[in-house]
Chain A
């Protein structure tokens, strides 16, 4: 036709937001935590970040080429996976183990299920769960911050649980001057990132709120019941992987419910499972298994919490 007009069904205008922009928002929100990680775990953090991000992006591209899919590394989702993967690893993890974990995260948890948006489980946590099962020694070897002295089983949660040492320094816990996974220790850095994501409306506030509140309430209750055995509610919120889990892992939209009620239940469920493992399980920390378990329940939550039909 001489007029050469574009024909498409409505709507003809679109919101300015986009999925890659949301991914970039998450990367921006992670910047304070990245700096904190590098400050506390020095060269080990740098190595893990570089190895993890590069291998996630490379695996994503290679697997997509092999599976004859469109290569979508520009949507930044593999970069987010890479950063979060490094953050959830112990600082002294050997490089080859990290690469293997990234392969499981991208290849098994994400691409095998159909790529971005189709995975059932959080790729980072599935990769980490694999490493925890296959290399338990590597995954439970911790380093003191800054000095990088190797200490076995001396995360704050481990000390409370196995060392029965309830003398908690909340200042260190808050800024991150404790041993633990690379990116999980600094509460303040993670909270800053979380506030940014909430302001940008990139994540739904229901999941972090219900997750953190549940952990706090259960922690406070058990502390009141047995103050000599358990630390208090605030400790359970600041220690271990709870904040990174509640702000960055449980809020992964792909593996969480789409309804608001579902999100309340998802967050609360994560909190309950986390605390059951922490208090009475064989492990000091339970965020990873809690999120993976709730991921598995997500399709059910979506079905059970469908909104009321309009007009009925």
Chain B
């Protein structure tokens, strides 16, 4: 698919282009997965301070009822995605932590809901009120990082940002949930984007999309045009759509800021420090639902894909639904999977059981066959420097790997392993199949301990 827009697609220095594998799900309409008879809601589905449970075994809960929260600023509450009875609060399989405390809720099938407060004209509400709604709705970054969104929207005193970048790059292979959401939830995403832009009072809004998602680009462009011509109140700040080259990790925050604004985020700093906030398209969708419809974050769009699956696709899944139930809904397996990855195949986490629940940070689940899951043998580094050429943050992965291997910790600092964004492109590109990103993580941990 070639288009004039793609010829001038912007990109960053370095990066890799793994086989995309998006074709099997990219045209599949988002389907609603029915609620499971029993859901497992991990109490912590965000990065930050741990939550305390608000319910006890035996309590009955309603759909949308808050079941865990923390008083700390960097946290996000968790809401029940079904109505029913809390059976237990106990450690359970967790896609990120192995095992972590979760509320097991038996679904009574009635979907008795708390009243969701719809708002017709939220633009007129004060910013603090809007940020509070986002906070109370438990919204976190839905691109996978799960950082509480209200913290990102609530700028620290003295800081200001001029640009909001909406991340629809979806550079991980296999995943298509953001792409589908942009095609099917276009208007809602745009409304969510404008809410976030209003809260942040930015002067520029960019939507970053890779060139392999032209249908999303067209849908978004059309909707933006309609807003500017038909809407009674034309938006002051135009939403500019940026078509970026299909390359991993194009959707990394630092990469987006660099590609779109030519600004580099200094080491140890956030995009905020160069006047930018980056939000995922799924997060903007959730912001819309929370503010316009009063609906807390109780479900999300997930891509289930991979050669083992009978009917791969994109699904709206209630949080806490066991993966096993979602797989059953997709018609089960063609062949038993040898590897299950929560997230994309570059940065995702391999799972040891299908009993894990879908959580806020689950962008997709990839099922790899035995052949695809084979781990190649690690050979000697021949210093071909592919890792150096592709590193998007200018590191020397091969040098860091050597220093780790020979325990030269005293000279590690000068190689700045802490700048690593964990994208894994080095390990992907390595001719000798050396797990470079793991060596860098080791170096990073040592550096942290030193401080």
Tell me how many residue pairs across A and B have CB atoms closer than 8 Å: 159
The contact string, 1 if C-beta is below 8 Å from chain B, for chain A 1-25, is 1011111111111110111111000
User: A60 → chain B, closest Cβ, in Å?
Assistant: 13
A309 touching B353, Cβ below 8 Å: no
B381 partner, pick from A5, A117, A302, beta carbons under 8 A: A117
Confirm or deny: B358 has a beta carbon within 8 angstroms of a beta carbon on chain A.
Answer: no
Q: Does B354 contact A (CB under 8 A)?
A: yes
List the B side residues contacting A309 at CB < 8 Å: 267, 394, 416, 419
A: number of interface residues (CB 8 Å) = 43
Is the Cβ of B352 less than 8 Å from the Cβ of A7? yes
Q: Which of A14, A256, A257: most chain B CB closer than 10 A?
A: A14
Specify the chain A residue showing the minimal Cβ separation from B370: A6
Contacts of A4 in B (CB 8 A): 336, 338
Q: Is the CB of B435 within 8 A of A117?
A: no
Q: Quick one: given A6-B373, A14-B428, A311-B265, are A22 and B348 in contact (CB under 8 Å)?
A: no
Which residue on B lies nearest to A201, using beta carbons? B386
Query: Considering only CB atoms, which chain A residue lies closest to B368 in the complex?
Result: A12
Contact at A19–B431, with CB atoms within 8 Å? Answer: yes
User: Given B350, B366, B433, which contacts A9 in the complex, CB threshold below 8 Å?
Assistant: B350
Q: Which residue of A lies closest to B433 (CB)?
A: A14
Looking at B65-73, B279-287, B339-347, the stretch in contact with chain A turns out to be B339-347
Report the Cα distance A312→B339, complex, angstroms. 40
Pick the residue among B264, B341, B382, B399 that contacts A310 (CB under 8 A). B264
Instruction: Say whether, besides A22-B384, A310-B267, A312-B266, A13 and B396 are in contact (CB < 8 Å).
Output: no
Q: Is the interface of A mostly helix, strand, loop or mixed?
A: loop
**Bound-state Cα–Cα, A116 to B349, Å:** 32
Scoring A residues 235 to 255 as 1 if CB is less than 8 Å from chain B, else 0, what string do you get? Answer: 000000000000000000110
Does B18 lie at the interface of the complex (its beta carbon under 8 Å from any beta carbon of A)? yes
Q: Considering only CB atoms, which chain B residue lies closest to A22 in the complex?
A: B431
Q: Mark B249-286, 1 if CB is under 8 A from A, else 0.
A: 00000100000000011110100000000000000000
9 pairs of residues in contact across A and B, judged by CB atoms under 8 Å: A5-B339, A5-B350, A13-B345, A17-B431, A117-B380, A117-B382, A258-B385, A260-B389, A311-B265
Q: Which residues of A contact B (CB under 8 A)?
A: 1, 3-15, 17-22, 72, 75, 77, 115-118, 204, 253-254, 256-260, 302, 306-312
In the complex, given contacts A8-B350, A116-B382, A259-B385, what are 9 additional A-B residue pairs having Cβ atoms less than 8 angstroms apart?
A5-B337, A6-B373, A10-B427, A12-B339, A15-B430, A17-B431, A307-B396, A310-B395, A310-B419
